């Protein structure tokens, strides 16, 4: 089935906050298949060292998106990407490693340091952090993704570039979506 993406703007929007340029891009998915496909596209574009923070309420679609990211990285279906709520970290092997953190049970950066977060975040894979909004201190990241539940099926994904690497990633993602919207 062909996805019917609803992209909120034709271009990335930019704004300056305290002298730092931020880039923002939004897209709406119309169900779990589109959420998974969006994640897959992100995984296909992601390079080593990218840090992506996922924020959103319970049931917003963070894990479905993460499963798509894993598929885009080439994580084998025999090792499913599941939310590491109880283990806090799952490592999946694809074309680059996926370091999948779930911070639902954590509230301090010190707790995250005990897991070796910095070593993974500075490593050779994609660091994906679910429930990043649970931290009392902010985490360094390339991209922040906020997932909003609009209806039973629809989700709005709000992407914010947090550094130059994130800006390049969002530009690539936007170009990809523009090419998907063009008729064949």
CA distance 110 to 182: 47
Radius of gyration over every alpha carbon of the chain, rounded to an integer in angstroms = 16
pLDDT higher for 3 or 161? 161
Task: Encode pLDDT of 119-170 as tens digits.
Answer: 888 889 999 998 888 775 677 788 999 999 999 999 999 999 989 999 999 9
Q: Of 25-39, 81-95, 103-117, which gets the smallest average pLDDT?
A: 103-117
Region 7-35: mean pLDDT is 68
The DSSP code for 74 is T
- Give residue 83's pLDDT: 77
- Give residue 137's pLDDT: 64
**Are 164 and 140 within 8 A, CB to CB?**
no
Write the DSSP assignment of 136-169 as a string of letters: SS----SEEEEEEE-SSS-EEEEEEE-SHHHHHH
CA distance 103 to 111: 9
**Are 147 and 59 within 8 A, CB to CB?**
no
**Are 23 and 34 within 8 A, CB to CB?**
no
- Give residue 136's pLDDT: 56
Highest mean pLDDT: which range of 111-115, 116-120, 173-177: 173-177
Task: Encode pLDDT of 61-101 as tens digits.
Answer: 999 999 999 999 999 988 888 876 667 888 999 999 999 98
- Is the pLDDT score of 1 beyond 80? no
Task: Please name every residue paired with 5 in a beta bridge, in sequence order, or none if there are none.
Answer: none
CB neighbours (10 Å) of residue 2? 5
Whole-model pTM: value is 0.84
CA distance 155 to 35: 8
Torsion angle (degrees, nearest 10) of CA 169, 170, 175, 181: 130
* Domains recognised in the chain with CATH numbers: 24-181 (3.40.50.300)
């Amino acid at each position: 089935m062909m996805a019917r993406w609803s992209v909120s703007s034709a271009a990335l929007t930019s704004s300056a906050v305290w002298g730092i340029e931020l880039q923002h891009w939004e897209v709406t998915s119309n169900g779990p298949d589109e959420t998974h496909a969006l994640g897959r596209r992100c995984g296909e574009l992601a390079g080593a060292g990218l840090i992506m923070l996922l924020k959103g309420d319970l049931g917003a679609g963070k894990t479905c998106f993460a499963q798509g990211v894993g598929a885009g990285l080439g994580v084998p279906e025999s090792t499913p990407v599941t939310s590491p709520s109880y283990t806090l970290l799952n490592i999946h092997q694809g074309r680059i490693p996926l370091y999948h953190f779930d911070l639902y049970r954590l509230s301090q950066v010190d707790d995250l340091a005990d897991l070796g977060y910095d070593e993974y975040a500075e490593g050779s894979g994609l660091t994906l952090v679910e429930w990043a909004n649970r931290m009392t201190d902010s985490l360094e990241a390339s991209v922040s993704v906020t997932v909003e539940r609009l209806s039973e099926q629809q989700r709005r994904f709000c992407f914010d570039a947090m550094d130059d690497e994130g800006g390049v990633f969002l530009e690539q993602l936007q170009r990809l979506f523009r090419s998907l919207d063009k008729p064949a």
